[in-house]
Amino acid sequence: NQQDSTSKSLSERKWHEIISLRGYGQVRYNRLLETNDQLRCEQCDKSWGDGGLFIRRLRLVFYGWVNERVYFYVQPDFASSSGSTLNYLQLRDAYVDLGIDKENVFRVRVGQSKVPYGFENAQSSQIRLSIDRADATNSAFVNERDLGVFFYWTPKIVQERFEKINALKLKGTGNYGMMGLGFFNGQGANKADLNKKQHVAGRFTYPFLINNSQFIETGLQAYSGEFTMPSDLLSNGVKTNFLKTYRDERVGASLTVYPQPIGIQAEYNIGKGPQFNTQTDSIEVRNLKGGYITLNAKANIGEDLFYPYVKYHYYDGGKKFEKDARSYLVKEFESGIEWQPNKYLELVVAYTISDRRFEDFVLKNNHQKGNLLRIQAQFNF
Amino acid sequence: NQQDSTSKSLSERKWHEIISLRGYGQVRYNRLLETNDQLRCEQCDKSWGDGGLFIRRLRLVFYGWVNERVYFYVQPDFASSSGSTLNYLQLRDAYVDLGIDKENVFRVRVGQSKVPYGFENAQSSQIRLSIDRADATNSAFVNERDLGVFFYWTPKIVQERFEKINALKLKGTGNYGMMGLGFFNGQGANKADLNKKQHVAGRFTYPFLINNSQFIETGLQAYSGEFTMPSDLLSNGVKTNFLKTYRDERVGASLTVYPQPIGIQAEYNIGKGPQFNTQTDSIEVRNLKGGYITLNAKANIGEDLFYPYVKYHYYDGGKKFEKDARSYLVKEFESGIEWQPNKYLELVVAYTISDRRFEDFVLKNNHQKGNLLRIQAQFNF
Amino acid sequence: NQQDSTSKSLSERKWHEIISLRGYGQVRYNRLLETNDQLRCEQCDKSWGDGGLFIRRLRLVFYGWVNERVYFYVQPDFASSSGSTLNYLQLRDAYVDLGIDKENVFRVRVGQSKVPYGFENAQSSQIRLSIDRADATNSAFVNERDLGVFFYWTPKIVQERFEKINALKLKGTGNYGMMGLGFFNGQGANKADLNKKQHVAGRFTYPFLINNSQFIETGLQAYSGEFTMPSDLLSNGVKTNFLKTYRDERVGASLTVYPQPIGIQAEYNIGKGPQFNTQTDSIEVRNLKGGYITLNAKANIGEDLFYPYVKYHYYDGGKKFEKDARSYLVKEFESGIEWQPNKYLELVVAYTISDRRFEDFVLKNNHQKGNLLRIQAQFNF
């Protein structure tokens, strides 16, 4: 694609040969068979326990190779609220990739983009099987993204494997580097930076090819930085340290046996970060840990694709980008199936059994258990 | 158009053959010959009685057939305010149509879209003759839209008549079904749902063809649901029922004699819904009624098109999506003319004689009368 | 380009031959060698003294000739904050140009657009050499823009000179008319109008061609109107006049010797407008004055372009669109260089020595001096 569109002399290309546009949308309904409407997950899905149909995502992607070594990617999302009103357009990705070499083995990325931390975080929501990402790894960064400078190293053979995994519809991450290294603000996507210190994150992942057919990917990642609690996330009365600034660091491992036809996807991470302490009414640096394991399969029935799965995840730690660095203890089991009648449509139905303790200065002693059916229709264009 | 763009093998199509883009903008000035700057209509036009030039609408439409049976339509608007700042981009439409059959006689629509309730509500603002929609029917839903699942049945012959009405520039609605049935949240476009109950709406409309030349369309519509007053619309001190949830239902009829060259457009509806009661300082379910009648004409003078019109409308009821379900008694007369020098430009000038009582917890005993000249320039691209 | 795309019969043109799309982005870092983090400039750059990397601009431009005389231009920006959250999409430009004659010598522009006041204000940020515009002239209008009706007169020879200046990469303004006259709301882009009176602005500029090679442009401009302080910009306790409405008028002169290879760019303006008075705690009409001078050069080294520059600017006056019409006394020196390795990328590094007094009802006696290194990467697509 890159080769095609840049083979013409660049000055001959029309705008629509340089810039491409695509998009996708997701609509959800979470209220069927719901047993407890106080069971919520702010980060996962704002429509848990509340309301009816919900536009979870509506994204446009403007992207293209402006020349052999320069690629841009601008992805806004329409499902962004501002105050009590929904569906404003707000940035998710906005970056430029500069190839150091002609094959783009070494790239520098500048802008807002996913932080190289974790497999499920890198995997697009358009691709992901389970309805939401796991709290344990997704609590690392809000919307998985931040603003910074990122270096990616992806040898040609690894580039080809990432592409092959994609082409086989095995639900990979695409090319976020065999090795990725990022220096970024650390306050999360679309948030003003509040301290002069940069976060650093690094990730190494390798897609092994076994018997020339089975892909298995293993990865390691870590990040470190200082997170400053923004004042609009602090309840009146909650205690913080003087600078409202806290150590924030993690290390984790990932394993993906791609579903050919049976697969496993698992990650685990430990670390420390700001977390609300109900005993002291204060935000403190505390240890965190958690992960998930998914068993899945891929089945072609006629022209249709089916992906059944079960997932269990666990998290014990804080969420720094929620009210008072809300404290979490999560145990959740989900069983579901994704159906793709064609490449434009997807339907996921999942049954979730959840046990969530989430507490902040206002919401003390808040332990919620319950079950619900979750339905998501997705459309790609 | 659909046929053209899908006749190629789908995999051969470039992105700009799948996705199309168009748009339109409207700029207004309401202050000439204005006799009372306290005369306002929040729903109709936020620039009444205030300020100067105003961008009323600026819309982009991304749309296309991804295959023979799957159509998407994403229409954001730039004229959306957030706090005291104007002109953010926010969704209006965002839906996918799935054809049950190859001719799209039966369609399922999923997403945010116009609710099938009323002719003028379905008619695009890009097409509509009068400056604003009538309070009586437009008070049914904010921005005419909601998030839900909609079923449309449009026999081939009716599809062709809708297209023909469009091609003749007679100011129809386009294809919102001969029969439409919708299940939706009921709180209005871009608003979080606040109760678990869905609204239901149904509409039947038929475009008769008389003497093989004159189009006459008649319709019936109704909806029913429970509306929950959102807390940001409640004044401090206003009384509500315990759940802040109110019966909300209407039934209405429509008649359109298309201007060939003289036309009539009329609608009337009755029902009940939440409404502020100035006697009791509370929001209560009360009866509502109202409608409008428009006499119009279509004249070609050289290459130019002219549409003169007179419109009278009346409404006695509440507006559930305004402060305290504001109470309204509206009698308004408008006389105007639309001029289309070419297909890209439109100018409407209208003189409005208005008598509006609109009251909430803060604005008691608020009866405003006055006249004003209204000017709108529209541009299509 | 206009000629090419309209030479086909209009009805044959596809949407992507009518509508074009382009864009650019800027990312900044202001914290290196920073000596005083209380030194700020709200209008120039919200990331001074705060945080880390910052998306300064991310703009998409939808534009095109719909026919020989009708041109539209819609430019939203992603780097717009709403509350404490960043990166919403908001309008900058949204206008239609109607050519009175076929050569577009006389044009009427309707919509939101730059006010014809000043050379640096008209010059795009994508083109401008210095990191920010000078306070003295940029304090005239927020984002340089307003909503109104504008008349432009550009004789054919002047059109060609503007194009030539552009083609030579001399950093001109493009065609904002040899003569421009505007009638507009006067409250600034994306702000509701708060009084019935329109602002008026006029500008005359002429690009002389000396010895058939050296371009020199001189201009005069002025505007006049009444500005109403919006209530969300007033501190609790600040005194205003009864209508919160103030005389707002300026006159200025501009000189640009284009860098062939050495250039000068200078502007100065005087006038009066609302300004906070620290002695009386009130907003009053006060005199304002200020300007800037830039010395620059253009150097081709191989395929790369370099533009070194020094700039000094001075402003003594108020900023009507900041808190309490904040009072300013600014003396600032900047020395920098822009590097363009190709037409898609730009890097600017500048060292700034700044002395800024800026005071409002809360921020009294606030005189800040300091130095900092400023870095900006720009990407065009």
Average pLDDT over residues C348-375: 96
- pLDDT tens for C123-138 read 999 999 999 999 999 9
Q: Please say whether the beta carbons of C290 and C317 come within 8 A.
A: yes
| Number of C-beta neighbours around residue C323 at 10 A | 19
Nearest CA in chain A to C345: A70
Q: What rounded mean pLDDT belongs to chain A? A: 93
pLDDT of residue C8: 53
Q: C185, B23: Cβ pair inside 8 Å?
A: no
Pairing of strands A367-380, C199-210: unpaired
Q: A83, C83: Cβ pair inside 8 Å?
A: yes
Q: Please say whether the beta carbons of B68 and B102 come within 8 A.
A: yes
| Number of C-beta neighbours around residue B72 at 10 A | 24
Instruction: Please name the residue that has the structure tokens 């209560």.
Output: B284
Q: What rounded mean pLDDT belongs to chain C? A: 93
- pLDDT tens for A337-358 read 999 999 999 999 999 999 999 9
Least CB–CB distance from B52: residue in C67, C198, C232: C198
Q: What is the pLDDT along chain B (381 residues), one digit of tens a residue?
A: 333 444 455 568 999 999 999 999 999 999 899 999 999 988 888 888 877 899 999 999 999 999 888 999 999 998 888 777 888 889 999 999 999 999 999 999 999 999 999 999 999 999 999 999 999 999 999 999 999 999 999 999 999 999 999 999 999 999 999 999 999 999 999 998 888 889 999 999 999 999 999 999 999 999 999 999 999 999 999 999 999 999 999 999 999 999 999 999 999 999 999 999 999 999 999 999 999 999 999 999 999 999 999 999 999 999 999 999 999 999 999 999 999 999 999 999 999 999 999 999 999 999 999 999 999 999 999
Q: C195, B377: Cβ pair inside 8 Å?
A: no
Measure B107 CA to nearest chain C CA, in Å.
Answer: 26
Kindly state the tokens that stand for C2: 């206009």
Q: C87, A91: Cβ pair inside 8 Å?
A: yes
Q: A82, C60: Cβ pair inside 8 Å?
A: no
Q: Please say whether the beta carbons of B191 and B142 come within 8 A.
A: yes
Q: Please say whether the beta carbons of B325 and B43 come within 8 A.
A: no
- Is the pLDDT score of A9 beyond 60? no
B vs C, Cβ pairs < 8 A, gives 112
What is the complex's ipTM, to 2 decimals?
Answer: 0.92
- pLDDT tens for A131-169 read 999 999 999 999 999 999 999 999 999 999 999 999 999
Tell me how long chain C is: 381
Kindly state the tokens that stand for B266: 């009329």
Element (H, E) at C252: strand C245-257
Average pLDDT over residues C144-165: 97
Residue type, B7: S
Burial environment of residue B102 by CB neighbours within 10 A (0 to 12, 13 to 18, 19 or more): exposed
Contacts of B54 (CB under 8 A, 6+ apart): B27, B28, B29, B30, B45, B46, B47, C147, C193
Chains that touch B (3 or more CB pairs under 8 A): A, C
Q: How many domains does chain C have?
A: 1
Q: A87, B74: Cβ pair inside 8 Å?
A: no
- pLDDT tens for A286-309 read 999 999 999 999 999 999 999 999
Q: Please say whether the beta carbons of B220 and B116 come within 8 A.
A: no
Residues of A in contact with C53 (CB under 8 A): 147-149, 184-185, 193
Q: C62, B379: Cβ pair inside 8 Å?
A: no
* Chain B residues within 8 angstroms (CB to CB) of chain C: 16, 20-23, 25, 27, 31, 46-47, 50-55, 58, 60, 78, 82-89, 342, 344-345, 377, 379-381
Residue type, A362: V
Residues of C in contact with A68 (CB under 8 A): none
- Say whether C232 sits in a helix, a strand or coil: helix
Contacts of B175 (CB under 8 A, 6+ apart): B152, B154, B159, B162, B163
- Say whether B196 sits in a helix, a strand or coil: coil
- Provide DSSP, B203-251: EEEEEEEETTTEEEEEEEEEEEEEEEPPGGGPPTT-B--TT-EEEEEEE
Measure B366 CA to nearest chain A CA, in Å.
Answer: 28
Residues of C in contact with A192 (CB under 8 A): 46-47, 50-51, 84, 86
pLDDT of residue A310: 98
- Say whether A142 sits in a helix, a strand or coil: helix
Nearest-CA neighbor of C245 among C137, C135, C189, C325? C325
- Is the pLDDT score of A373 beyond 90? yes
Measure A283 CA to nearest chain B CA, in Å.
Answer: 30
Distance CA A206, CA A204 (A): 7
Q: Please say whether the beta carbons of B107 and B16 come within 8 A.
A: no
Distance CA B158, CA B175 (A): 9
What letters, b where the CB count within 10 A reaches 16 and e where it falls short, cover B151-171?
bbebeeebbebbeebeeeebb
pLDDT of residue A5: 40
Residues of the domain holding B28 = 2-380
Residues of B in contact with A40 (CB under 8 A): none
Kindly state the tokens that stand for A77: 């999302």
- pLDDT tens for C185-204 read 999 999 988 988 899 999 99
C75 bridge partner residues: C93
Tell me how long chain B is: 381
Instruction: Please name the residue that has the structure tokens 């431009």.
Output: C61
Least CB–CB distance from A27: residue in B74, B110, B196: B110
* Chain C residues within 8 angstroms (CB to CB) of chain B: 14-16, 18-19, 62, 64, 66-67, 70, 72, 74, 76, 80, 82-83, 88-91, 94, 96, 98, 110-112, 147-149, 184-185, 187, 189-196, 198, 230, 232
| CA distances from residue B10 to A1, A381, B13, B20, B37 in whole angstroms, order as listed | 17, 12, 5, 15, 56
CATH number assigned to the domain comprising residue C147: 2.40.160.10
* Chain A residues within 8 angstroms (CB to CB) of chain B: 16, 20-23, 25, 27, 31, 46-47, 50-55, 58, 60, 78, 82-89, 342, 344-345, 377, 379-381
Distance CA C108, CA B132 (A): 26
Average pLDDT over residues C242-264: 97
Q: C15, B31: Cβ pair inside 8 Å?
A: no
pLDDT of residue C297: 98
Least CB–CB distance from C72: residue in B85, B89, B379: B379
Burial environment of residue B269 by CB neighbours within 10 A (0 to 12, 13 to 18, 19 or more): buried
Distance CA C130, CA C335 (A): 9
- The helices-and-strands tally (H runs, E runs) of chain C is 5, 17
pLDDT of residue B11: 64
Residue of C20, C29, C344 to mutate, interface with A, max A Cβ within 10 Å: C344
- Is the pLDDT score of A335 beyond 80? yes
Q: C82, B89: Cβ pair inside 8 Å?
A: no
| CA distances from residue B198 to A10, A369, C336 in whole angstroms, order as listed | 53, 25, 61
- pLDDT tens for B316-354 read 999 999 999 999 999 999 999 999 999 999 999 999 999
Distance CA B308, CA B304 (A): 13
